[in-house]
Structure 1
Amino acid sequence: MVHVLAAGSLFFPGLFLLSKAGLRRLQLFRGEESNTIIVSARLVSSIQAVLASTAGYIVATSCKDVIEDRHWLAATYTRFAVPYFIYDVYAMYLCYWHKHKVKDHASGWQLTRAYLRKEFLMVLHHVFMVAVCFPVSVLWREGKGDFFLGCMLMAEVSTPFVCLGKVLIQYKKQHTLLHRVNGVLMLVTFFCCRLLLFPYMYWVYGQRVGLPLYKVPFSLSPEYNIGAAILMAPQVYWFYLICQRAYTLFRQSILCQRPKNGHPASEISAKDQDCSQ
């Protein structure tokens, strides 16, 4: 276990440094250190998501019995990925710091507090994954339920689309066809792989023990339902934010396509300002 944890501790920060050096060498951002760091962090998150979802798919499709069957990749990748959540908290802070250090003229401690306020839910989610989900998945479940762990890993399918969307918005490409297509894929994968994931796992378990879906929660110990609720709650909130942002961009796109003839100067100015955001 120690060797796998050590490998993950080297892999994710090393990949971040490697991608940052590669972007500098390619001179894609020409001295804009903040953009280099932000894109590098998004790239590492996307690669981790691809690795996790691939591992999850292999595990889930290999387990015929959803409770008893085991696959070595389930525990191995879980251990390998734990350092990623620790690294990612720092990477998110680094992105926030570079993005706001000049604009806000704030000290390091002020930026840290602002970062924790803005990303409180994400930081709490990462801490929960390391402090609770890791011990549960490696020790408490006693080798059972690799299928469900594989399903949880496949929740990362939506992450590359989320990262690409943030990068496109960062470079004011939110009105391009690429952003629209990516937005649709992000909504579909997030909804299917993060929100429908939990009802699906309840349904699969019900099929295994011969219970209809609505009876499954009452047949499980309270800790299972509480854990599922804790994991699902932030996903619902983030999906709401994604839908809200998608609606805002769609509304701005409609406004930008309307002809300006006949509009008051103040309305045209306001509309042009929205289109440039």
Structure 2
Amino acid sequence: MKSKVQLISQIKKEQKKTHMHIPLIVLLILTLILSVLSVTDLEWEDKISVNRGFSLFFYGLVFFTVLYHVLNNLLLRTASGQKFMKTYKLSIADVYDISNKQVSAVQAIFCCITGITCCTYSCTRDIMRTSHFISEAYAWFGAAYFLYDIWSMYKVHNAKTIQASMNGDVKKGGVKFLSYLKTHAVIVGHHIFIGAFGFLVITYLRGGLGDCFFGFVYLMEASTPFVSLRGILSKIGLKSSNLYVINGLVMLGTFFICRVAMFPCVIYLYARTVDLDYISAIRSLPNGCKISILTLLLPQIYWFLLMVKGASQVLKGKVTNAKKKNLKNTH
């Protein structure tokens, strides 16, 4: 009974804020403009000061949080959004999950823009010492995404728990934020580590070296929009569609190029720069760098193999269904 009251109360709160998406969109655009304006006075190779960095971090936190709310509003509080929800039988928890994936895709696009800029500028000059301010600027702005995403994942989890409570699958209602942090310590710890470690490496620990190579690290996010689209298509029941298969193949190819093949290519680029053969170039790398490369590469290989397995199963299912359809037509 308590969970039903919670859900009804949540629905009423959503309905009361019918036109909230308009001021939120204005705030979203304003935040993005302020972020860009905060770095327009910099020369290409300037460093980001701590004060400027905290401003970018704040803008990033506001931007990603507001974007999440805007996407939720467009589905929950507009006529076209509610029609979309009704067509695909989406719950509030589904909407939260879809919005989370969309924000993830936007963050990945920002990373790719940063990576392309770094590679275009730094890799065409002294690839070891040339830097573009955008790499540090987005490290500050993007670090905020990991904090936002912890909160966003909690919102999704909480909505799913309330929904399950409504269906009688669980006895409790919502989940407290601190309880979520405790029960999901691994994924929360992963977000904090990746956000903090990546930020520190790009802004301080690298000592201003290797901006070109970090451009390629940013480009690792190129597959994320396709991963997000895959999850969204599955959520709205289009897992058996041709679009799902095509997106999956593009995701697989992009993931391999940007997350697996990228590593040996970057090492080759480094070997050419320092005028060493491939093996000697690897040996010349600092131990910390070798460990970082392995830490990044091994999970990518594992996930890629899982993706290949999943893609083969989907394609096998498509072929089987096509054969069954042809047999029916012949009879």
Residues 131-165 of structure 1 deviation map (CA, whole Å, 9 limit, x = unaligned): 32211211111222111111111111101000001
Listed as ranges, the matches of 1:84-95 within 5 Å are 84-95=145-156
RMSD value, Cα: 2.5
For 1:205-242, what per-residue CA distance to the aligned partner results, in whole angstroms no more than 9, with x for missing partners?
Answer: 11110112222221111000001111222222221222
Structure 1 distance, partners of 2:302, 2:149, is 20
Residue by residue, what CA displacement relative to the aligned partner does 1:31-62 show, whole Å, maximum 9, x if unpaired?
A: 72112111111111111111110111011111
Could you tell me which amino acid in structure 1 is paired with residue 207 of structure 2? E
- Residue 99 of structure 1 deviates from its aligned partner by 3.4
Conservation of the 8 A alpha-carbon contact between 2:143 and 2:196: no
Aligned CA distance change for structure 1 residues 17 and 261 (closer, same or farther; 3 Å): closer
Deviates more, 1:8-17 or 1:89-98: 89-98
| Partner in structure 2 of residue 29 of structure 1 | 85
Q: Provide closer, same or farther for how the CA distance between residues 260 and 192 of structure 1 changes in structure 2, counting only shifts above 3 A.
A: closer
Equivalent residues of 1:203, 1:213 under 8 A apart: yes
In structure 2, the residue matched to 1:162 is: 227
- One-letter identity of the residue aligned with 2:271: G
- The residue number in structure 2 matching 1:50 is 109
Q: 1:216 matched to which residue of 2?
A: 281
What amino acid sits opposite 1:58 in the alignment?
T
Partner of 1:18: 70
1:144 partnered with 2:213:
no
CA drift at 1:197: 1.6
Is 1:80 paired with 2:136? no
For 1:197 and 1:123, the matched residues in 2 are separated by: 27
Identity of aligned residues (%): 29
Deviations 1:225-271 (A, max 9, x none): 001111222222221222222122222222322338999xxxxxxxx
- In terms of Rg, which structure is larger? 2
> Retained in 1: the 8 A contact 2:233–2:239?
yes
2:120 to 45, 58, 61: 61
Alpha carbons 1:96, 1:115 under 8 Å: kept: no
**TM-score between the two structures when normalised by the length of structure 1:** 0.85
Secondary structure of 1:45's counterpart equals helix
Preserved contact between residue 29 and residue 35 of structure 1 (Cα < 8 Å): no
| 1:38 aligned partner | 97
Superposed CA deviations along residues 94-128 of structure 1, whole A, max 9, x for unmatched, are 3234335434416437x9489738xx4x5454222
Question: For 2:288, what is the secondary structure of its paired residue?
Answer: helix
Which piece of structure 1 moves more, 190-199 or 99-108?
A: 99-108
SS at the partner of 2:184? helix
1:232 matched to which residue of 2? 297
How many equivalent pairs are there?
259
